[in-house]
Amino acid sequence: MNSIVGNIGNASQLRSDAGPMMDPFGRAVTYLRVSVTDRCDFRCTYCMAEHMTFLPKKDLLTLEELNRLCSAFITKGVRKIRLTGGEPLVRKNIMFLVRELGKQVQDGALDELTLTTNGSQLARYADELYDCGVRRINVSLDTLDPDKFRTITRWGDFTKVMEGIDAAQKAGLKIKLNAVALKDFNETEIPDLMRFAHRRGMDLTVIETMPMGEIEEDRTDQYLPLSQLRADLERQFTLTDTAYQTGGPARYVEVAETGGRLGFITPMTHNFCESCNRVRLTCTGTLYMCLGQNDAADLRTALRATEDDALLHAAIDEAITRKPKGHDFIIDRTHNRPAVARHMSVTGG
């Protein structure tokens, strides 16, 4: 990991009108995903081991520090921030950060503040999220069967998540459901999940499992190529490709029978890196320029070195020069080790 401290020579741009940050491959970096905690109240089998070692609490940035970091990215041209984790809504006082960033949406400095959540705490926070300026959220839901839900999340309560979805819709939040496609677990359930989502006015996106972090299961047993899932769905539904985009890697189809939209995120079968516009910040101030690579930049040292943001801006600029072209994920029987050792919960999905 490189540190920029002591290398402030190449002047950083402190003006917000300097245009977006550009990486070496000509991609504008306008989207920041922030993992506000690596902790979670679930233990989804594809995401975490049952007994996880979490980051020491002392290494965590405070919410004030995370706000300062996010603000530096906004100054440098980031227009969209997604809070994720771990489970973002289990971080103590998280609404402080949501409110602070929400002000930047109200001021026009940010186009969108959103979050990805497992839904367990949504019933409690939905109204406040809306009040802070959040308008759209992603909720992860892999099955509609309460017993299977308990199996896949190990610790999750399906009823609470349903109450969370109800509360969020009632509060006016637009929801997109995310489901990880898992072989022999939910592949036959995707039509039901889709009908459920579309009936309630929600898009559904299915995601391929990515080889991140040690888990108890064998990832080759979990991995379901979405090309196969799509072929199965096409036997029952009429899927029409659309140009619809949410600024992310999902490719959408319209489903004639339900009148809703279905997204496919295919990091494994189709490399989605060429249009990547994002970087990922962890709760300890480490910036990953790619979800699927180990290279990272330490922003915490620059953040804490001075109250002035010049060093921090220089550190961000330097990090962006290292954004790689793409990831090297492979899942097959000859690759038994995860492509990256850290779990998805550290970098945020």
Residue corresponding to tokens 């602070």 = 100
Q: Count residues contacting ligand SAM (CB under 6 A)? A: 20
> Is residue 344 involved in binding ligand SAM (CB under 6 A)?
yes
> Is residue 149 involved in binding ligand SAM (CB under 6 A)?
no
Query: Rounded to an integer, what distance in angstroms lies between the CA atom of residue 172 and that of residue 47?
Result: 29
253 token code pair: 């189809």
259 token code pair: 């009148």
Q: Angle at Cα 338 formed by Cα 203 and Cα 336, nearest 5°?
A: 120
- The binding site for ligand SF4 (CB under 6 A) comprises 40, 42-44, 47-48, 85-87, 118, 140, 345
> Is residue 12 involved in binding ligand SAM (CB under 6 A)?
no
Give the Å distances, CA to CA, from 41 to 97, 119, 153, 160: 20, 11, 9, 12
Q: How far is the CB of 301 from ligand SF4 (least distance, A)?
A: 27
Say which entry of ligand SAM, ligand SF4, none residue 249 contacts (CB below 5 to 8 A, set by partner kind): none
Query: Rounded to an integer, what distance in angstroms lies between the CA atom of residue 78 and that of residue 109?
Result: 9
> Is residue 72 involved in binding ligand SAM (CB under 6 A)?
no
From the centroid of its chain, how far is CA 4?
26
Q: How far is the CB of 216 from ligand SF4 (least distance, A)?
A: 13
Q: How far is the CB of 59 from ligand SAM (least distance, A)?
A: 19
Closest CA to 2 of 317, 330, 345: 317
Q: How far is the CB of 349 from ligand SAM (least distance, A)?
A: 2
Q: Angle at Cα 152 formed by Cα 148 and Cα 155, nearest 5°?
A: 100
Q: Is 209 annotated as a binding residue?
A: no
For CA atoms 251, 143, 212, 174, the dihedral sign is positive
180 token code pair: 């990880």
Q: How far is the CB of 122 from ligand SF4 (least distance, A)?
A: 12
Pick the closer one to ligand SF4 by CB: 90 or 171: 90
Residue set of the binding site: 33, 40, 44, 46-47, 82, 86, 116, 140, 176, 210, 273, 276, 278-280, 290
Write out the residues near ligand SAM by the rule CB under 6 A.
Answer: 40, 46-47, 84-85, 87, 116-118, 140, 178, 180, 207, 209-210, 212, 344-345, 348-349
